[in-house]
Structure 1
Amino acid sequence: MTNHKGGCLCGAITYNVAGPLRQIIACHCIQCRKTSGHYVAATQTATASLTISGAVTWYQSSDKARRGFCGTCGSPLFWQPGNRAVTSLFAGGLDGPTRLKIVKQIYTEAKGDYYALSHTETSDQDPCAG
């Protein structure tokens, strides 16, 4: 069985994923940029496969989704849509080698003007809206 561990910068929140992870999607939408300070590179798993230790602070960023972060160090960690039993994990919070790759970039038209993309793939569905 696939098993991945991760957590926040200060160690107050740790998590374990006992199941597969989706390949990475890089989202350049405004909300992901504001959440992370750049763009978000995230994988995803079934929420039932995720065990979290520590007190996550959840922010209901829209009627469609909420975002989870560490209230101590501020590390952004999770994104959950309200209508599906999945949790996106910010890839930078994963420990050790993941063997995951960025396979898609979305909302590239909203990217910051201070960086360039070598390749883009856009989508009209925002999995990060919220």
Structure 2
Amino acid sequence: MTQLDRHGSCLCGAVNLTLRITSPSLSACHCATCRKWGGGPLLVAEGELTRLSGEQQVRIHDSSEWAERGFCGQCGSHLFYRLKSTGHHAVPVGLLDEHDDWQLDSQIFIESRPTYYCFANQTRELTGEQVFAEFEQG
């Protein structure tokens, strides 16, 4: 399986990271917490966080029983969403250096998607219940 490293940084440059991905896939989360966190759906790339520099600037918010969110304490940029049980990371795609090969292929918490927006892409759509079931199966 091919692995790609995508590099990125926060707005002020105090935190830099590398996310190792297996494909340039993006997902959108429509849950109320993600929408409150970023003002709209959270568009993320998922993979292994292989490098994080500027860790002294990283702040963690314990956002739920199962997840936490990292942000830069200096500029406030959203850095990652991390599952507590597995350490699984999702990084906002806007944080990563530009690439034209990203493909939006899934949407989660679709039951929470408000009626005022809709993506035109044909994607896999999962409810929150389906998402939790997939992560429990491993």
Letter in 1 for 2:108: I
CA shift digits 1:37-86 (9 cap, x unpaired): 11101111124xx2111121110111211000111221112011011132
Q: Which residue of 2 aligns with 1:122?
A: 126
Whose helix proportion is higher, 1 or 2? 2
Normalised by the length of structure 2, the TM-score is 0.78
Aligned equivalents of 1:15 and 1:98: distance in 2?
Answer: 19
Q: Which residue of 2 aligns with 1:11?
A: 13
- Structure 2 equivalent of residue 86 of structure 1: 88
The one-letter amino acid of 1:82's match is: K
Aligned residues: percent identity? 33
What is residue 51 of structure 2 aligned with on the other side? 51
Corresponding residue pairs, total: 124
Q: Paired residue for 1:111?
A: 113
- C-alpha RMSD of matched pairs (Å): 2.0
Runs (4+) of structure 1 moved beyond 3 Å? none
Deviation at 1:98, TM superposition (A): 5.5
Unaligned runs of 5+ in 2: 133-138
Unaligned residue ranges in structure 1 (runs of 5+): none
Q: Work out which structure has the larger RCO, using CA pairs closer than 8 Å and 6 or more positions apart in sequence.
A: 1
1:76 maps to 78
2:136 aligned residue? none
Q: Structure 1 stretch 93-102 or stretch 37-46: which is displaced more?
A: 93-102
1:21 Cα shift?
4.4
Q: Which moved more, 1:76-85 or 1:20-29?
A: 20-29
Q: For residue 114 of structure 1, what is the amino acid of its counterpart?
A: Y
Shift of the alpha carbon at 1:7? 1.2
> 3-state SS of the aligned residue for 2:130?
coil
